[in-house]
A and B are shown apart, each in its own frame.
Chain A
């Protein structure tokens, strides 16, 4: 969830910067759209990441009945 929070802060910054760029060169009609589309792609990647990550957490909980990642040190032995 903290990852979502950080991604959202970056999204807000990108939208603000795209507005700055659009205000700077107002003659170009598409100025600033690339920043907002980048935000859109960040949302896409976040959705994919969340689905896979939650599937991994559910699988882990089913196997060891806990969400403590300190149990996952089997590769060490």
Chain B
């Protein structure tokens, strides 16, 4: 077993474990912290796949910006036990059943697939380097890039307008 495989399995176990902890932990602050752990594990996967740009962006944008936003909002409204909403029991049952149905469909669809002939190779290729990605981004994908900047601007204005004291 090479060192890459060992790293892959460690990262996979960490990502799955922390993702389960995100969903199952009662305290929302703990949930956010487990989500940060998940993002670090997924960034490790990106590095293993030689997508360094996405790994760095994942840490900066997700673990840095979005999770801090989540933490601020959760700490802003001090959620305690008494403010916890009463959950509908039927809603939980329906959720379990529909999730089980989705799992069943996915397992049934993936059961007969043969192992792919194309393998995602680790440590090779320069598709994930900043140079190639930047060249593509500013030549082929320049229009979606500009549109996404407008989307960001509108989201910013919308957040300010919604969050403003009326």
- The answer, among B19, B49, B156, for a CB contact under 8 Å with A15, is B49
In whole Å, how far is B143's beta carbon from the nearest beta carbon of chain A?
Answer: 12
How long is the Cα–Cα vector from A69 to B91 in the complex, in angstroms? 13
Chain B residues in 8 Å Cβ range of A61: 76-77
How long is the Cα–Cα vector from A26 to B118 in the complex, in angstroms? 12
How long is the Cα–Cα vector from A67 to B84 in the complex, in angstroms? 8
Contact B69 A16 (CB under 8 A): no
In whole Å, how far is B163's beta carbon from the nearest beta carbon of chain A?
Answer: 4
Given contacts A21-B118, A37-B136, A61-B77, whether A5 and B83 have CB atoms under 8 Å apart is no
Chain A residues in 8 Å Cβ range of B85: 66-70
Main secondary structure of the interface of B (DSSP, over half): helix
Q: How many residues of B are in contact with the other chain, CB < 8 A? A: 61
Chain A residues in 8 Å Cβ range of B124: 23
Given contacts A23-B121, A52-B158, A68-B85, whether A4 and B136 have CB atoms under 8 Å apart is no
A73 within 8 A of B: no
25 A-B interface contacts by CB (under 8 A)? A1-B70, A2-B23, A15-B45, A16-B120, A18-B51, A18-B127, A21-B118, A22-B127, A23-B124, A26-B125, A33-B132, A34-B140, A36-B53, A36-B127, A37-B137, A41-B148, A46-B62, A47-B66, A47-B155, A50-B66, A51-B69, A51-B159, A54-B69, A66-B85, A68-B86
- Chain B interfacial positions (CB closer than 8 Å to A): 19, 22-23, 31-32, 35, 38-39, 42, 45-46, 49-51, 53-54, 57-58, 61-62, 65-66, 69-70, 73, 76-77, 79, 83, 85-86, 88, 116, 118-121, 124-128, 132-133, 135-137, 140-141, 144, 148, 151-152, 154-156, 158-160, 162-163
Please provide the 4 A-B residue pairs with the shortest distance between their CB atoms, ordered closest to farther.
Answer: A68-B85, A48-B155, A32-B127, A19-B120
